[in-house]
């Protein structure tokens, strides 16, 4: 009997049933993605969208535990987006010379 012909059991994690799987609501995941991206680009656009989607996800009882947490985090990131935008705007208006340039 060769080593290659021996059957070895494959150890895998136990499977969860479909009703037991923790899920993240689509609105919550969209709020998280837009809120995170808004910290770097399009703050004034992505921030309010993340806030609205996050509030809807947090209030949705069918979203489950992770949908509510994701919604709250999306709202938090959306508010941070608007704060970053406000700081950048105030620094620019004061004339302190903050500028982003690409390509020279």
* pTM confidence score: 0.68
Has residue 20 got a pLDDT over 90? no
Instruction: Grade residue 90 by pLDDT with cuts at 50, 70 and 90.
Output: confident
Mean pLDDT on 39-58: 92
Residue 96 φ then ψ, to 5°: -75, 0
- Angle at the Cα of 78 from the Cα atoms of 76 and 79, rounded to 5 degrees: 65
Give the domain ranges of the chain: 26-94
Q: What percent of the chain has pLDDT over 70?
A: 68
Query: What contacts 78, CB < 8 A, 6 or more positions away?
Result: 31, 34, 35, 38, 46, 47, 48, 49, 50, 51, 54
What is the tens place of the pLDDT at every residue in 58-71? 888 776 777 888 88
């Amino acid at each position: 009997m060769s080593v290659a012909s021996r059957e070895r059991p494959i150890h895998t994690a136990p499977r969860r049933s479909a009703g037991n799987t923790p899920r993240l609501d689509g609105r919550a995941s969209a709020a998280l993605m837009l809120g995170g991206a808004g910290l770097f680009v399009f703050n004034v656009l992505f921030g309010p969208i993340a806030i609205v989607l996050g509030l809807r996800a947090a209030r949705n009882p069918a979203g489950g535990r992770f949908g509510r947490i994701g919604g709250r985090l999306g709202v938090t990131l959306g508010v941070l987006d608007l704060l970053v935008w406000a700081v950048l705007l105030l620094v620019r208006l004061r004339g302190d010379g903050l500028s982003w340039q690409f390509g020279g």
